[in-house]
């Protein structure tokens, strides 16, 4: 059964078309990942589906209700975890949760029981009477996540749920996402982390510049690359020189070269004999090969193949742009 049906959703902010005619469906019980670089339009898509912002055009049904015509019905059925969520620093974990539970219209006794239950689920019971202002980012995020579950919604939206968290908390949050899903909830998750989308999602929509450029299971997305007979090779070159990326990319059979470290490149290519090709290329330039490996394609490779650029490229460019603006 479909629990989300987005039809031609678009959102324009003045000259920026943040979301461009996006359509997709999410089935009940799925973990559905929206994967894309910073600024791709993931948060804006989630904000429209959770009724926080109105689409410029198009619409969506969430739990059977139209996001534009019946927003309060939609809000009853969903939970949202976003980085913009506010917790009150001078209230304890329990007081924060009770405050939001009461806002949701729960009676005191039921609210208390539910808060304790949820605190226990994320291993935060012992911190229930501590002020949230004293919590680490990871502890706050656990409270944020359970806050969205207070009214027991069947559809949960998580916008970059592990952003800025330490590895241990990241693991806890990911396990928790699997747990709430295994209890029958549908999860819609945005992330710019390929491995996170890969390990959690039943299906993934890859978003770039506001458009969905691919939508399938992680396995099928990766198979797409395999079946295209593209090869992905990692090559260690101890005496690397900076020009080889450009030189290699000038060949028709080379799709993309990316740097993995100062001494290692990853190359996606479609040549008759890729290893012979690369060995010949490097030996002509007196470059040595320390190791060469064929690698199973990852979602990163799928993204590169589809867009012709790395997800990180854009993030680096964006960071540089922000820094330049800050210093100008
Ligand atoms: N309120 C707003 N006003 C103007 N532009 C906006 C607004 N919200 C988002 N944008 C722009 O819309 C585009 C998509 O942003 P969005 O936040 O949806 O991307 P994202 O994929 O979630 O990335 P990020 O992780 O960086 O938030 C970006 O170019 C962003 O600058």
Please name the residue that has the structure tokens 């040549």. 271
The response to whether residue 44 sits with its C-beta less than 6 Å from ligand 1 reads: yes
The tens digit of pLDDT for each residue in 233-245 reads 999 999 888 788 8
Tokens of 147: 């806050």
The response to whether residue 18 sits with its C-beta less than 6 Å from ligand 1 reads: yes
Q: Which residues contact 149 (CB under 8 A, 6 or more apart)?
A: 79, 118, 156, 180
The response to whether residue 33 sits with its C-beta less than 6 Å from ligand 1 reads: no
Tokens of 233: 């090779």
State the distance from the centre of ligand 1 to the C-alpha of 42, rounded, in angstroms: 8
The tens digit of pLDDT for each residue in 123-152 reads 899 999 999 999 988 899 899 999 999 999
Rounded CA-CA distance 13/11 in Å is 7
CA 6 to chain centre: 18
- 298 has pLDDT over 90: no
- 8 has pLDDT over 80: yes
Q: Which atom of ligand 1 is nearest to the CA of 47?
A: 18
Mean pLDDT value across residues 289-303: 86
- 321 has pLDDT over 50: no
Q: Which residue has the higher pLDDT, 270 or 55?
A: 55
Domains by residue range for the chain, with CATH? 2-217 (3.40.50.300), 226-296 (3.30.70.100)
At residue 302 the predicted structure's pLDDT band, cuts being 50, 70 and 90, is: confident
Q: Which residue has the higher pLDDT, 259 or 12?
A: 12
Q: Closest Cα to residue 212, out of 20, 27, 57, 17?
A: 20
Mean pLDDT value across residues 282-300: 88
199 to 155, 175, 238, 266: CA distances (angstroms): 20, 11, 33, 22
pLDDT at residue 327 in the model: 43
Q: Closest Cα to residue 23, out of 175, 166, 212, 177?
A: 212
pTM of the shown model:
0.81
How high does pLDDT run on average in the chain?
A: 88
Q: Which residue has the higher pLDDT, 122 or 202?
A: 202
């Amino acid at each position: 059964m479909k629990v989300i049906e987005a039809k031609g959703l678009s959102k324009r902010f003045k000259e920026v078309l943040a979301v461009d005619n996006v359509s997709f469906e999410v089935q009940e019980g799925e973990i559905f990942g929206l994967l894309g670089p910073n600024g791709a339009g993931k948060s804006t898509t989630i904000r429209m589906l959770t009724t926080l912002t109105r689409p410029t055009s198009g619409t969506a049904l969430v739990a059977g209700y139209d996001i534009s015509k019946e927003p309060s019905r939609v809000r009853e059925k969903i939970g949202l975890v976003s980085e913009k969520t506010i917790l009150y620093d001078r209230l304890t974990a329990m007081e924060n949760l009770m405050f939001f539970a009461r806002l949701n219209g729960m009676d005191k006794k039921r609210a208390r029981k539910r808060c304790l239950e949820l605190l226990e689920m994320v291993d935060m019971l012992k911190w229930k009477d501590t002020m949230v202002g004293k919590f680490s980012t990871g502890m706050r995020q656990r409270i944020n996540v359970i806050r969205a579950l207070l009214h027991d919604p069947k559809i949960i939206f998580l916008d970059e749920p592990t952003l800025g968290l330490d590895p241990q908390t990241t693991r806890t949050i990911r396990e928790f996402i699997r747990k709430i899903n295994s209890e029958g909830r549908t999860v819609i998750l945005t992330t710019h982390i390929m491995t996170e989308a890969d390990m959690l999602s039943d299906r993934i929509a890859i978003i770039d510049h506001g458009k969905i450029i691919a939508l399938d299971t992680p396995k099928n997305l990766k198979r797409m690359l395999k079946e295209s007979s593209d090869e992905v090779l990692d090559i260690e070159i101890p005496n690397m020189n900076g020009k080889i990326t450009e030189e290699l990319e000038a060949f028709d059979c080379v799709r993309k070269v990316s740097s993995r470290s100062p001494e290692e490149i990853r190359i996606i290519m479609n040549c008759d004999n890729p290893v012979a090709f690369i060995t010949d290329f490097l030996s002509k330039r007196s470059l040595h090969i320390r190791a060469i490996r064929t690698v199973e394609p990852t979602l990163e490779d799928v993204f590169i193949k589809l867009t012709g650029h790395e997800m990180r490229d854009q993030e680096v460019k964006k960071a540089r742009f922000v820094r330049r603006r800050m210093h100008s």
